[in-house]
Amino acid sequence: MRTPKVREVKEALRSLFSRPYTIRYPYEPVVPPERFRGKPKFFEDKCIACGACAQVCPARAIDVQNVVSDGTGRRKLTVHQDHCIYCGQCQRYCTTSEGIKLTNDFETGTYDRTQSISTVEKELVICRECGEVIATVDQIRWVAEKLGPKAFGNMGLALMLSRDLGLASDVSRAPGRAMERGDNVSLLCPRCRREVILYEQWGP
- pLDDT confidence of residue 202: 58
Interior/surface letters 37-68, b for 16+ CB within 10 angstroms, e for the rest: bbbbebeeebbbbbbbbbeebeeebbbeeeee
Sequential pLDDT tens for the chain (204 residues) = 466 677 888 888 888 888 777 888 888 888 888 888 999 999 999 999 999 999 999 999 999 999 988 878 899 999 998 899 999 999 999 999 999 999 988 887 778 878 888 999 999 988 877 888 888 999 999 998 888 888 887 777 777 777 766 655 655 555 555 556 556 667 777 788 777 777 665 555
pTM: predicted TM-score of the whole model, two decimal places = 0.74
- pLDDT confidence of residue 55: 95
CB 95 within 8 A of CB 52: yes
Question: What is the set of domains in the chain, with CATH numbers?
Answer: 33-126 (3.30.70.3270), 129-204 (no CATH)
CB 71 within 8 A of CB 58: no
CB 181 within 8 A of CB 200: yes
- pLDDT confidence of residue 40: 93
Residue of 56, 60, 70 lying closest to 99 (CA atoms): 56
